[in-house]
C-alpha cells in the first residue's frame, strides 16, 4: 500500500480522499487547532499540530518513527498538500486592494504581480518536504487565481513554482481541474501540480466522469434544519428522507442515477476513525436565524433556474413585505421595527452599488458554486435553492462531497463557525479520491 503525508492538511479532505482510494496517509501537519481536532476525530491521531515553518521535515520523520507510523523516510511514496496562498484568491485580492486604497497595506502591489503576503511563500516549505522525503510522486493544490499572477521579475507564478520543483530533480505537470467533472456537486476550480521522480512512470490526472451532480440532487434527502437559536446540541441527529420522499424534485428537476449513487455514498461512506453515526442520520444541520430584514429579502432572491435571475441590487426595499411591524425607513436607509427608544431595532440596507451581489441563491439544477471559508462569517452568497435561509454545515459538506459520518464538530469540540471555515478550505474528498486512484494506477 502506498504511504503518504499530507501537509497543510486542514480538516482532512485530501487525506480522506486518498484513504478512499486505498492510500495510507501516515502523517499530516496542520497549524489550526480546530482543524486538528476535526482531523483527529475523523481520520486518526497521525496529525501534528505544528507551524510548518518551524517544523522541519527531519523532525516530522523522527516523530513518525517514534510513533511507529514509518520505519524511515523511504517509506513515504507520496507527499500532498495545499499551501495557503490567500493573495491568489479573488477574496484575498479584493481585501488587499481595499487595504491599498485605504493606505493600510505595507507591501507593494503591481497589477497581476505576486502579492507580498508571507503566506504565499509557504509552498517553499512544501518543496523542502518533497526534497527531504524524496517521494515517487507529489501533488500540490492551490486556488485557480494563481494562474493570473506574475513574480516581481514578470514570470508567471506557476512557472516559478515549477522551477522550484525542477531544481530538486522532479518532473512537473500542471492541470486545472473542476470538481464537478469528478462527481462532486460543486463547480470548484483548483490548480494541481503533479510531480514525479525520473525513475518512475509519469503519473496522470483523472479523466472527467462525463456527468454532473446538481446541488439539489446532493441535498434532496436532507430534511428542514433547526435554527441556530434552538437549544439543541450541535451533534443532534436528524433522520434523512426515505427514498419514496425524494423521488419527485421541485419543477422539472429529476434525480439521476448518478445522483442516487452520490446520495448512497454520502449516507454510507465512513471516515477511518469515525463511523459511529447511525445510518440514515445526519448531524451539523443547523441554519442561521433569518433576521426580519432577510425574511423579506430572501423570497425575492432568484437563482434564474425558474425564470429571471434576481440579486440584491434588483430589490426595492420599499415594496417588500416584512414580518410583524417591520418596515422600510427611507430616511435612515434601514429596515426598522417601528419602535423608539430602547426598543428600537434597525437592520441596514446594503448599498446596492457596492453590494449588488451581496445575496445569491444557489441554482438547484446545476452544481453548487465554490464553497468558501467566508461562510464562517455569513452565508448570503449561499441561499438554499428552495428554502428561504442560508445553507447549513452539513449541506456545505455535501456540496464538498464529505460523507455524513464526517463530523466537523469533533463530537462538539469545534465551534459552529469554525466548521464552515474547515469545509470551505477543504479539497473535495471525491476529487482527491480520483487523483489518488490515477496516481496509483500510473505508479503500479
Quick: pLDDT tens for 162-221: 999 999 999 999 999 999 999 999 999 999 999 999 888 899 999 999 999 999 999 999
Q: Read off the C-alpha cell for 55.
A: 517544523
Give yes or no for a contact between 61 and 81, defined as CB atoms under 8 angstroms apart.
no
Q: What percent of the chain has pLDDT over 70?
A: 86
Instruction: Specify the pLDDT at position 120.
Output: 59
- Residue 156: its pLDDT value, please? 82
Confidence at residue 390, expressed as pLDDT on a 0 to 100 scale: 96
For residue range 364-379, what is the model confidence (pLDDT) as tens digits?
999 999 999 999 999 9
Looking at per-residue confidence, does 101 or 365 come out higher? 365
pTM attached to this predicted model: 0.90
User: Taking 80 as the threshold, does the pLDDT of residue 343 lie above it?
Assistant: yes
- Per-residue pLDDT tens for 216-259? 999 999 988 776 554 444 556 788 887 667 655 666 788 999 99
Domain boundaries, the chain: 3-211+424-443
**Any idea which architecture 3-211+424-443 has in CATH?**
3-Layer(aba) Sandwich (3.40)
Q: Quick one: pLDDT at residue 108?
A: 46
198 vs 95 pLDDT, higher one = 198
Residue found under cell 471516515: 271
The band of 97, judged by pLDDT with boundaries at 50, 70 and 90, is low
pLDDT band with cut points at 50, 70 and 90 for residue 275: low
Lowest mean pLDDT among 107-111, 143-147, 347-351, 397-401: 107-111
Higher model confidence: residue 280 or residue 421? 421
Identify the band that residue 104 occupies on the pLDDT scale cut at 50, 70 and 90: low
Query: Could you report the per-residue pLDDT of 52-75, keeping only the tens digit for each?
Result: 999 999 999 999 999 999 999 999
Segment holding 263, helix H or strand E? helix 257-268
- Distance from the first to the final alpha carbon of the chain: 11
What is residue 87's predicted lDDT score, i.e. its pLDDT?
A: 53
Per-residue pLDDT tens digits for 289-333: 999 999 999 999 999 999 999 999 999 999 999 999 999 999 999
Which of 1, 31, 10, 13 shows the shortest CA–CA distance to 406? Answer: 13
Residues recognised as catalytic: 85
Centroid of chain to Cα 276: 24
pLDDT, residue 112, reads: 39
Give dist(CA 257, CA 175) in Å, integer. 29
Kindly indicate the confidence band of residue 119, based on its pLDDT and cuts at 50, 70 and 90: low
Cα 213 to Cα 219: distance, rounded to the nearest angstrom: 10
d(Cα 265, Cα 371) in Å, to the nearest integer? 20
Residue 98 has pLDDT above 70, yes or no: no
Q: Is the dihedral of CA 441, 30, 39, 65 positive or negative?
A: positive
Supply the mean pLDDT for the chain: 89
Residue 153 has pLDDT above 90, yes or no: no
Amino acid at each position: 500500500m502506498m504511504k503518504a503525508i499530507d501537509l497543510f492538511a486542514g480538516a482532512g479532505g485530501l487525506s480522506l480522499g486518498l484513504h478512499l482510494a486505498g492510500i495510507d496517509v501516515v502523517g499530516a501537519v496542520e497549524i489550526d487547532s480546530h482543524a486538528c481536532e476535526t482531523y483527529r476525530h475523523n481520520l486518526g491521531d497521525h496529525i501534528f499540530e505544528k507551524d510548518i515553518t518551524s517544523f522541519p521535515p527531519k523532525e516530522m520523520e523522527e516523530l513518525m518513527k517514534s510513533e511507529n507510523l514509518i520505519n524511515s523516510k523511504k517509506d513515504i511514496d507520496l507527499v500532498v498538500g495545499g499551501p495557503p496562498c490567500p493573495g491568489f484568491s479573488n477574496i484575498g485580492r479584493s481585501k488587499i486592494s481595499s487595504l491599498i486604497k485605504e493606505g493600510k497595506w505595507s507591501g507593494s502591489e503591481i497589477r497581476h504581480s505576486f502579492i507580498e503576503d508571507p503566506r504565499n511563500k509557504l509552498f517553499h516549505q512544501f518543496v523542502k518536504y518533497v526534497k527531504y522525503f524524496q517521494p515517487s510522486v507529489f501533488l500540490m493544490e492551490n486556488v485557480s487565481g494563481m494562474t493570473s499572477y506574475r513574480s516581481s521579475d514578470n514570470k508567471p507564478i506557476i512557472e516559478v513554482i515549477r522551477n522550484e520543483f525542477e531544481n530538486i530533480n522532479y518532473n512537473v505537470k500542471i492541470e486545472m481541474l473542476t470538481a464537478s467533472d469528478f462527481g462532486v456537486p460543486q463547480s470548484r476550480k483548483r490548480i494541481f501540480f503533479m510531480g514525479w521522480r525520473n525513475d518512475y512512470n509519469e503519473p496522470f490526472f483523472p479523466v472527467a466522469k462525463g456527468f454532473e451532480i446538481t446541488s439539489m440532487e446532493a441535498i434532496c434527502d436532507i430534511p428542514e434544519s433547526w435554527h441556530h437559536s434552538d437549544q439543541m446540541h450541535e451533534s443532534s441527529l436528524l433522520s434523512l428522507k426515505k427514498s419514496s420522499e425524494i423521488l419527485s424534485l421541485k419543477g422539472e428537476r429529476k434525480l439521476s442515477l448518478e445522483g442516487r449513487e452520490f446520495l448512497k455514498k454520502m449516507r454510507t461512506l465512513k471516515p477511518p476513525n469515525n463511523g459511529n453515526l447511525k445510518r440514515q442520520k445526519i448531524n451539523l444541520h443547523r441554519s442561521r436565524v433569518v433576521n426580519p430584514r432577510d425574511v423579506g429579502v430572501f423570497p425575492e432572491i432568484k437563482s434564474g433556474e425558474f425564470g429571471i435571475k434576481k440579486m440584491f441590487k434588483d430589490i426595492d426595499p420599499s415594496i417588500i413585505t416584512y414580518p410583524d411591524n417591520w418596515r422600510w425607513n427611507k430616511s435612515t436607509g434601514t429596515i426598522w421595527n417601528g419602535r423608539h427608544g430602547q426598543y428600537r431595532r434597525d437592520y441596514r440596507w446594503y448599498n446596492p452599488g457596492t453590494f449588488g451581489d451581496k445575496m445569491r441563491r444557489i441554482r438547484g439544477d446545476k452544481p453548487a458554486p465554490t464553497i468558501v471559508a467566508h461562510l464562517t462569517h455569513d452565508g448570503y452568497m449561499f441561499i438554499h435553492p428552495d428554502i428561504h435561509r442560508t445553507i447549513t454545515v452539513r449541506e456545505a459538506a455535501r456540496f464538498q462531497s464529505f460523507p455524513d459520518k464526517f463530523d466537523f464538530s469533533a463530537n462538539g469540540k469545534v465551534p459552529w463557525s469554525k466548521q464552515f471555515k474547515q469545509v470551505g478550505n477543504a479539497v473535495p474528498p471525491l476529487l482527491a479520491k480520483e487523483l489518488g486512484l490515477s496516481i496509483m494506477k500510473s505508479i503500479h
